[in-house]
Structure 1
Amino acid sequence: MKSPLQPLYTAMEILSGLALIAMVGIIVTDVSLRVSGGQVPAADDVSGYGLVAVLFLGLAPAYRRGEHIRVGLMVDRLKGRVRHGLEVLLLALGFTAVAWATFWCGRLVWDSWRFHDVAQGLIAIPLWIPQLAMPLGLGTFAIALLEDLIGMLRGATPSYLVHAAASAEDALTFER
């Protein structure tokens, strides 16, 4: 079943990709300019902010496709109601942890905006701008976890297991 929130996850994926492209562009430009004795001001800072954006904005899309590293040593051995109960518990704990992190990252962004914090590098970039990727990405990740949690409580298979099954099927087809 396709999620009604898929446009949100796609938007995060696009933003993450754009941040990656911008980061690579800045690094390549800086390296190219150094050959001729120039440089891009604050290239290290800006590419670091881009890396944070790539990672945080890509959390929900990667989760939805089952691309996060998931250690299922115990869960994969369980069956039936016990496994379902443990999956629900783990989704609830994951959602709680990510929602908590979202709140505090949002608070960090708010404080940076309120106190007019700026980067200490060559360019005084207001810190709330690059920091905004953290609560935005984490918040979307929390929504994805909550969507799967609600789906599991209604008897649906969570997105990460749907994609894991499809990937396993593809691997078997490839081997034949």
Structure 2
Amino acid sequence: MTKSPFSPLYVLMEILSGLALIGIAGVILADVGLRFVGGQVPASDDFSGYGLVAVLFLGLAPAYRRGEHIRVGLLVDRLGGPVRHGLEVVLLGLATVGITWAAFWSGRLAYDSWRFHDVAQGLVPVPLWMPQLSMVVGLTVFALALAEDLLRAAKGGTPSHLAQAALAADAAPTFER
């Protein structure tokens, strides 16, 4: 994978995303176990949903950098050379702007939830800014990863997701005779 000064941050996002997934499994297993003895975990579906948001948003940047996002390259993959590189720079710029915009407004949403003391309407009144924070952090780190690749591509380098895809293609087994 492409070296980055932010690599420890991306690894942290992977770890937090994984911990959220483990948390979901823990809540579900505890709820299933308690149902055998006539109990339940209050708001287990709410907590599982909050965990799912954390898994998805905290995992955005690491998945992008590893080239594991689904890309529809109908046009880009048919181009080559400087035209493709230029289009990649433009698309990275648009993605950076769009994700930065989403990060800003999700931050604004979390701030307003904190400011107005919004709580979940389920059995457990969880302050909504808490689960929304994973969305803000995930989108912000994803915007950082995109901006880093935009800068790299603008300088003539290869974005991390394309470099990772090239490494994966070289390591893929071939079945030719």
Place the TM-score, normalised by the shorter chain, in its bin: over 0.9
SS in structure 2 opposite 1:60? helix
2:60 alignment counterpart: 59
CA RMSD of aligned residues (A): 1.0
CA deviation vs aligned residue, 1:35-57 (integer Å, no higher than 9, x gap) = 11100011010010000000000
Letter in 1 for 2:27: I
What letter corresponds to residue 86 of structure 1 in structure 2? L
Runs of 5+ unmatched residues, structure 2: none
1:107-128, Cα deviation, whole Å (9 max, x unpaired): 0000000000001111111110
Helix, strand or coil at the partner of 1:145: helix
Letter in 2 for 1:100: W
The residue identity in structure 1 corresponding to 2:94 is L
What is the match of residue 137 of structure 1?
A: 138
Total equivalences in the alignment = 175
**Aligned partners of 1:140 and 1:64: how far apart in 2?**
11
Give the structure 2 partner of residue 107 of structure 1.
108
Residue in 2 aligned with 1:18? Answer: 19
| Partner in structure 2 of residue 123 of structure 1 | 124
Instruction: Report what 2:156 is aligned to.
Output: 155
* Displacement of 1:73: 1.4
2:172 aligns with: 171
Give the unaligned 5+ runs of structure 1: none
Which TM-score applies when normalising by structure 1?
Answer: 0.97
Percent of aligned positions with the same letter in both sequences? 67
Q: Which amino acid counterpart does residue 104 of structure 1 have in structure 2? A: W
Cα shift at 1:172: 2.9
Superimposed CA distance per residue, residues 81-100 of structure 1 (whole angstroms, 9 cap, x where no aligned partner): 11011000000000011000
Corresponding residue of 2:90: 89
SS of equivalent residue, structure 2 residue 172: helix
CA distance in 2, matches of 1:115, 1:155: 47
Question: What amino acid is aligned across from residue 159 of structure 2 in structure 1?
Answer: P
Runs of 4+ residues deviating >2 angstroms: none
